[in-house]
Structure 1
Amino acid sequence: MATYDAKYATVTVDGRYITGFDDGTFIKAEKDEESFQTKVSAMGEVIVSETNNPLGTITITLSQTSPSYSYLMQKAKTKKPFPIWVNYNDGVQKEKAGGTQARIKKSPGKEFSDEASSREFEFQVFDYTEE
């Protein structure tokens, strides 16, 4: 039987662990483009072109009350790239995604309601890798 436990998923931004995630999907990491493209010639020959685009996007969703919110707001104002890593390691399954050069695309939108809402940070990773 396989199990999954969200407490084994972590995000570090410039070496600092991010905390205070919102419920639901709180981390998403993916390459921005497919790894290759195909084309078929008039004679039916398949041509595979490798995509060399190293960009990826990591999106995290924090609770409005997250202790990491103010830290990430400060990072959003800087123009200096920083590392971001997403890790999942429950002792059986290990996954890692991220890179050493990333920036926050824009500050999250604000929403105020009768209960705490979420704040979404989107990171552009310039040297995205997955393991």
Structure 2
Amino acid sequence: MANTYTYDAALVTLVVNGRFITGFAEGSMVEAEKDEDNFETKVSAQGDVGIAKRNNTLGTITVILMQGSPDVLYLNALANSGQMVPVWAQSNGENAEKVGGTQAMVKKPADVEFSDEISEREFEFQVFDYTVQGN
């Protein structure tokens, strides 16, 4: 029998420095990735394998908000301040996942576009102690 589960985007939360971020754009709300693989391998001419562990704990979390989100100004101010903050993204439904870290900074204020449609504001967090946790 096949495994099934239900995902609900309404159960996804993003918490930055204790503040729940709201007003996500349509489509991808939060993207997260580790900046480097956990190890690198080399194989000798005779087939011996060497493994070099990478101790890089950096990761990047990208957040996409609607321009009218009440948190655009907050994240722009945070970027301008250079303040280090915790950032955690979490899916709170079945197969819950949590990603982020206790030390992160917003790389820069969002690019701005004014149009005849609602545009998006994208923020990148550099997470210095990036981790991914399961249920």
TM-score (norm 2): 0.93
46, 63, 66: which is aligned to 1:63? 66
Deviations 1:10-65 (CA, angstroms, capped at 9, x unpaired): 10000100000000111001100011111001221111111100000000000000
CA distance in 2, matches of 1:87, 1:118: 21
| Large movers: runs of 4+ above 2 Å | none
Q: Which residue of 2 aligns with 1:10?
A: 13
Alignment correspondent of 1:84: 87
Alignment of 1:83-122 (within 5 A): 83-90=86-93, 92-122=94-124
5+ long unaligned stretches in structure 2: none
Deviation, structure 1 residue 88: 0.8
Q: Does 1:31 align with 2:38?
A: no
* 5+ residue gaps, structure 1: none
Matched, 1:123 2:105: no
- What is the CA RMSD across the aligned residues, in angstroms? 0.8
Identity %: 53
